[in-house]
Amino acid sequence: MKKVNIWAWIIFALGMIYFFLPLVATLDFSLRAEKDVYPSFEAFRVVFGDPEFYSNFGSSLLWSLLTIVVSLLLIVPTTYWVHYRLPEWRPFVEFITLTPFVVPAVVLTFGLIRLYCCDPLPLISSPLLLVIGYVILSFPYMFRAVDTGLRAIDVRTLTEAAQSLGAGWWTILFQVIFPNLRVALLSGVFLTFAIVMGEFTFASLLNWPAFGPYMEYLGATRAYEPAALALISFALSWGSVGIIQYLGRGVTGGEQLAGAR
């Protein structure tokens, strides 16, 4: 059965061309900002010299930090509690976390704006609604990561063992459960980070400064700088996923699904 198939090589080569051609083209394009100079790092110089770049990038960093904190606070205790006390609720909770796959970001934004535009809860005037949208977007990834992590350990036994030794909830969670979940939590965190940093739909439609709309704005007004930004953004995703893969060595069953953007 293990004979090398020429077709396998051809398909693989085609796949690699599809993967790398756009990246090579983007790199090539980003180096052409100056006439008659190749390679020219002018596009990168412009991007890194633009104060808007830093302020928008900074905003996205802030949104992703807030999203990660809220998402962890919601998902980790809930998933732990489901594993420890309410295993029969697991499918229900999982179903809720998967809603971003059913309700597209643009539709969710539409619903949120209509509901929280005006009294009694005008959340739209604060970035809270944006962070809430991102938290929902992070649900499937965060839940999946934490759920996989909790499944690998015996939550009930660990909790009861700690309790019988006189540990309180704080000790149980921070000294017993979390250290066992380190890899799972970190992969959820980095995936959320990668998603929020490149997100466009929510930030653009809710009108908050972020890296995604900044990229789009530059794309509509400049020629070569967008290519440089695309590379920076790709490096960011590649870095985050690389860290996840590195952390998750040997952990199986953790393949992630992408959502629509």
Partner 1 sequence: MSQTPSITLGKGDAPLARPPTKKFSWAWLGLMPFLLFAIAFLLLPSASIVINSFKGPEGEFTFQNLVDVVTRKDLVSAYQTSLSISAITAIGGGLFGFLLAYAVILGGLPRSLRTFLVTFSGVASNFAGVPLAFAFIATIGNTGLITRLVESLSGVDIHREGFTIYNVWGLSIVYMYFQFPLMVLIMAPALDGLKREWREACENLGATSWQYWRYVALPILLPSLLGTTILLFGNAFGAYATAYAFTGSFINLVTIVIGGQIQGDVLFNSGLGNALALGMVIIMALCMAGYSWMQRRAARWTR
Residues 154-213 that bind partner 1 (CB under 8 A): 163, 169-170, 173, 191, 194-195, 198-201, 204-205, 212
- Least distance CB 188 / partner 1 (angstroms): 14
User: How many residues of this chain interact with partner 1, rule: CB under 8 A?
Assistant: 92
- Least distance CB 157 / partner 1 (angstroms): 15
Give the 3-state secondary structure of the chain.
Answer: CCCCCHHHHHHHHHHHHHHHHHHHHHHHHHCECCCCCCCECHHHHHHHCCHHHHHHHHHHHHHHHHHHHHHHHHHHHHHHHHHHCCHHHHHHHHHHHCHHHHCCHHHHHHHHHHHCCCCCCCHHHCCHHHHHHHHHHHHHHHHHHHHHHHHCCCHHHHHHHHHHCCCCHHHHHHHHHHHHHHHHHHHHHHHHHHHHHHCCHHHHHHCCCCHHHHHHHHHHHCCCHHHHHHHHHHHHHHHHHHHHHHHCCCCCCCCCCCCCC
Q: Which listed residue (39, 45, 245, 251) binds partner 1 by CB under 8 A? A: 245
The footprint of partner 1 on residues 210-229 (CB under 8 A) is 212, 215-216, 219-220, 226-227, 229
Interface with partner 1, residue 125, by CB under 8 A: no
**For partner 1, the closer CB: 149 or 218:** 218
**For partner 1, the closer CB: 26 or 152:** 26
Interface with partner 1, residue 9, by CB under 8 A: yes
- Least distance CB 216 / partner 1 (angstroms): 5
The footprint of partner 1 on residues 22-61 (CB under 8 A) is 22-26, 28-30
**For partner 1, the closer CB: 54 or 89:** 89
Report the length, in residues, of the chain: 261
Q: Which listed residue (108, 137, 176, 184) binds partner 1 by CB under 8 A? A: 108
Q: Which listed residue (37, 48, 58, 99) binds partner 1 by CB under 8 A? A: 99
